[in-house]
Copies of this chain bind each other. A is one copy, B any other.
């Protein structure tokens, strides 16, 4: 077994004596893990401070007291690092959205949804550069990274699963299935398949409403993060709350002012 198994990323399988030595990370890997974190932390710092274009391998290495090529032991290049950060960010965003619903009672479906949607906005505003890294239009040529795609799918799933219970309660005044054209149904089928919904527990009408919710939330928050309207409207929070009300009412969610107001 010593012959091969020289995986580039992590060798840790040594442990000649202990049977459960797999649990022990081993000094080597602990150090490696720490360096990896340090790299990503520095990337994040620069990202938050200067935006996506401010993240450079040379600058990160400089901050860490090493040289840029050394980072290639940890990432195959700048893009790889950025994609790794993107995946992390998607997970954090998912956690923030899910976490906001956590403290509320299980049966307060409306409250949980409201809290989660507000959490999405709050996270975006507190992490503008990170948000834009996640949702920016990619350059024409570069293919999406599988880790990012996966993490993005995870976020989508966690977002839409907010509405699971709402759908189960069946109190949504949904558009009838036959109001939805055949092409759109096809698309919604594809969407449902990839996000884990089935048309059994979510009608076409429900999926349609969910998509609409997401589109409106996304549009509103994107605009606010990009400060598109800010110069002509100032603080966007009143508009957000008003939109929130409108966005959720077709889904049968009763609006309720934010708790900490």
Binding site for B on A (CB under 8 A): 49-54, 128-129, 131-132, 135-141, 144, 149, 152-153, 156, 180-181, 183-184, 186-187, 190-191, 194-195, 208, 211-212, 215-220, 222-223, 225-229, 231-239, 241-243, 246
A136 touches B216 (CB 8 A): no
A-B contact pairs, 18 of them (CB 8 A): A50-B141, A54-B139, A128-B140, A132-B136, A136-B136, A149-B231, A156-B232, A183-B235, A183-B237, A184-B238, A184-B241, A186-B234, A191-B229, A194-B232, A194-B233, A195-B232, A215-B219, A219-B220
B231 touches A243 (CB 8 A): no
Q: Collect the chain B residues with CB atoms within 8 Å of residue A149's CB.
A: 231
The one of B50, B153, B180 in contact with A242, judged by C-beta atoms closer than 8 angstroms, is B180
Shortest CB distance A202–B (Å): 15
Q: Collect the chain B residues with CB atoms within 8 Å of residue A225's CB.
A: 137
When chains A and B are docked, how far (Å) is the Cα of A138 from the Cα of B50?
A: 10
Shortest CB distance A19–B (Å): 44
Consensus secondary structure, chain A interface: helix
A135 touches B187 (CB 8 A): no
Q: Collect the chain B residues with CB atoms within 8 Å of residue A136's CB.
A: 132, 136-137, 226
Q: Collect the chain B residues with CB atoms within 8 Å of residue A194's CB.
A: 231-233
Name A133's closest neighbour in chain B (CB-CB).
B137
Given contacts A136-B132, A222-B222, contact A187 B231 (CB under 8 A): no
A137 touches B128 (CB 8 A): yes
Q: Collect the chain B residues with CB atoms within 8 Å of residue A52's CB.
A: 139
When chains A and B are docked, how far (Å) is the Cα of A228 from the Cα of B136?
A: 9
When chains A and B are docked, how far (Å) is the Cα of A53 from the Cα of B82?
A: 15
Name A131's closest neighbour in chain B (CB-CB).
B137
Shortest CB distance A184–B (Å): 4
Given contacts A238-B181, A246-B212, contact A187 B139 (CB under 8 A): no
B191 touches A233 (CB 8 A): yes
The one of B128, B191, B233, B237 in contact with A190, judged by C-beta atoms closer than 8 angstroms, is B233
Name A152's closest neighbour in chain B (CB-CB).
B228
Given contacts A181-B242, A187-B239, A219-B219, contact A51 B212 (CB under 8 A): no
When chains A and B are docked, how far (Å) is the Cα of A181 from the Cα of B243?
A: 12
Given contacts A218-B219, A232-B156, A234-B190, contact A53 B239 (CB under 8 A): no
Q: Which 4 interchain pairs have the tightest Cβ spacing?
A: A219-B219, A51-B139, A132-B137, A184-B238
When chains A and B are docked, how far (Å) is the Cα of A220 from the Cα of B135?
A: 13
